[in-house]
Structure 1
Amino acid sequence: MTPSVYALQVHLPGEQMVSFQRRSNLADLVADVDFSKTMLTEQETERRKAVGRLVTVSPAEGERYFLRLLLSCVYGPTSFDRLLTINGVRMASYGEAAFQMGLLQSDTYFKDTLDEAATFQMPSSLRNLFDVMLSFCSPSNPKYLWERFTHWIYSSVHQNAGTSGDQ
């Protein structure tokens, strides 16, 4: 039996999405619901065969991207504060925490992001992601990333160029 896969939304503290029934009384909803509990922060009490997968976050989203990077690299975080605390010192931002952990010292996180995206994104989305990385993130070795991922980034362009010449 294949386990269920839950898409875990990556949200900054207090910025989670809230859904409710259209006919709900908003005053009752606000009074009764604990908005601090989300699928990202809470674990179910009963053990189920399920897999959680963090949704993709663009590097252009800044702090949200760095939060996802930390969630992927820190084992068993118990709170947002835990992710901000490195060697007993609380960092001012998730980007600073990722930097202090050494996650931004090389282009490894760019490679990992493109590796993950190449498994399920269309080539046009990969081109957009690569563009965002070059525009906002300043990788130290963009040529390496280009050479490693050019096949996936431009596979649809090559296919379309081959078919349009035959017609």
Structure 2
Amino acid sequence: MKTKQPENDEIKEYYDCRYISACEASWRIFSNEVNYRSPSVMRLPFHLPGQQTVCFGPDEDINQVLNKPSVNSSMFLAWMQRNQDPNDHVARTLTYVQFPRFYVWKLDKRIWVPRIKGKTIGRIHSVSPSTGEAYYLRILLNKVKGPTSFDDIKTVNGRVYDTFRDACYALGLLDDDSEYIEAIKEANISGSADSQSIIVVSGLSIPDEQLKNYVLCEIEKFLTRNNSSLRRFLSMPYPDTSSLDNFRCRLINEELAYDRTELQNVYQGQFMETMEEYFLFTVMAGPIVLNVASSGIASLLLEGGRTAHSRFHIPLNLNEDSVCHIKPDDDVAKLLQQTKLVIWDEAPMVHKHAFEALDRTMHDIFNISNPSRSDVLFGGKVIVFGGDFRQILPVVPNGGRQEIVNASLCSSLSVE
């Protein structure tokens, strides 16, 4: 005998929402701290010679801007200036990373002064190896102590080298792969949640060759985004892209078998967020899939995600006759023709006119040569809408419940 599921009391859920008391509101109004970090971490910027950041307003006089102390000073330059003090014997014994432990940066005076109390850890800004000289400068800043100028940083055994890269080689820092190994370790510590959860199936046995090929494909993908390729590195193998699809299919099949029990719970109305994450992971491993979201924050959670308005050129001011600004022969139209699936997250928060505009545009792009398919929604492309209707609905100025429901996704003629 099946037990009756309790009804959802939306009014009670509304009253059980998070409540901000008067004392907490006052605390935030006066901008008091709401969290602490011990010990504090200080990010240390650096730059190449003559490339320090200068901030000024649009109405400031150019002569006043050039005479500002900030033009010829920065946290990085002030560190080298502090090392020039002949009476300070501590500064010359420290690297840039060690400096905040013994000195405090005074922003108003733009100088470093000796620390009296407290403890701070310094961390230098990360840079990509593709940046060239900036990357090699960062390597030297972790090794060189007490330089008074840029020439001191690239001086080895009394010789001033022409570039920071040459100085790294002279110090033996690039003779092996130790620096690259350290960069990989650093990326592992600061990796995003997405990069930590590519393969999540417990007990899945993957041959080393397939796993190696998958990793090489991921590396090639990142290098391609930065206008580079594994083919530039003769000592590195190049991935076999033909076998990657088989690997992905196997991974998806294992995932399906592993999560079957959990999916049964999903269909019973439980673990809705798990179902959405599982589904997105599964379908994104296939051919060309466009991941879009209604808000910018939600789009950052999707791999290669963008806002729907940006991806499909949806007008900001919508009406019942709106169309997207996509021509049948431009690059966006060609991308849509190759797309197998579109995933639209947080769809309930967008006005129905946005979906109808996309439906109208995709019909014009795909069915212009086949008028008999005029009744096919979205030009025959598969679109998956995700989101929770209990979170955010379309905003209708001065609209009541009826107007909001009428503007929602469920009321659109383009969605079945």
Assess same fold via TM > 0.5. Answer: yes
2:113 is equivalent to residue 45 of structure 1: yes
Question: Could you tell me the percent identity over the aligned residues?
Answer: 31
Aligned to 1:149: none
Q: 1:84 to 1:137 in 2, by over 3 A?
A: farther
Deviation at 1:105, TM superposition (A): 0.2
Which residue is equivalent to 2:181?
A: 111
| Gap change, CA 1:108 and 1:34, over 3 Å in 2 | same
Whole-angstrom CA distance in 2 between matches of 1:87 and 1:30: 37
- In 2 relative to 1, CA 67–100 (structure 1 residues): closer, same or farther, beyond 3 Å? same
Give the alignment's TM-score, normalised by structure 1.
Answer: 0.71
Structure 2 residues without counterparts, runs of 5 or longer: 1-36, 80-111, 197-214, 238-247, 260-278, 280-416
Number of corresponding residues: 150
Secondary structure class of the residue paired with 1:73:
coil
Equivalent position SS for 1:56: coil
Alpha carbons 1:8, 1:52 under 8 Å: kept:
yes
Q: Name 1:28's counterpart in structure 2.
A: 64
2:170 counterpart of 1:100: yes
- In structure 2, the residue matched to 1:8 is 44
TM-fit CA distance, 1:163:
9.3
- Give the TM-score of the pair, scaled to structure 2: 0.31
Give the RMSD, CA atoms, in angstroms: 3.4
1: CA distance, partners of 2:44 / 2:159: 28
Distance of 2:147 and 2:253 partners within structure 1: 49
Unaligned runs of 5+ in 1: 144-156
Structure number having the greater helix percentage? 1
Asked if 2 retains the 8 angstrom alpha-carbon contact of 1:59 and 1:136, the reply is no
CA distance in 1 between counterparts of 2:158 and 2:231 reads 30
- After TM superposition, list the pairs within 5 Å mapping 1:1-167 onto structure 2: 2-43=38-79, 44-47=112-115, 49-122=119-192, 123=195, 127=218, 131=223, 135=230, 138=233, 161=252, 165=256, 166=259
Q: Report the Cα distance in structure 2 between the residues aligned to 1:87 and 1:94, rounded to whole angstroms.
A: 14
Aligned residue identity for 2:120: A
Mark the CA change 1:163 to 1:84 in structure 2 (over 3 Å): closer, same or farther.
same
The structure, 1 or 2, with the larger RCO (C-alpha pairs under 8 Å, 6+ apart) is 1
Q: How many angstroms does 1:24 deviate by?
A: 3.4
Q: 1:115 Cα shift?
A: 0.7
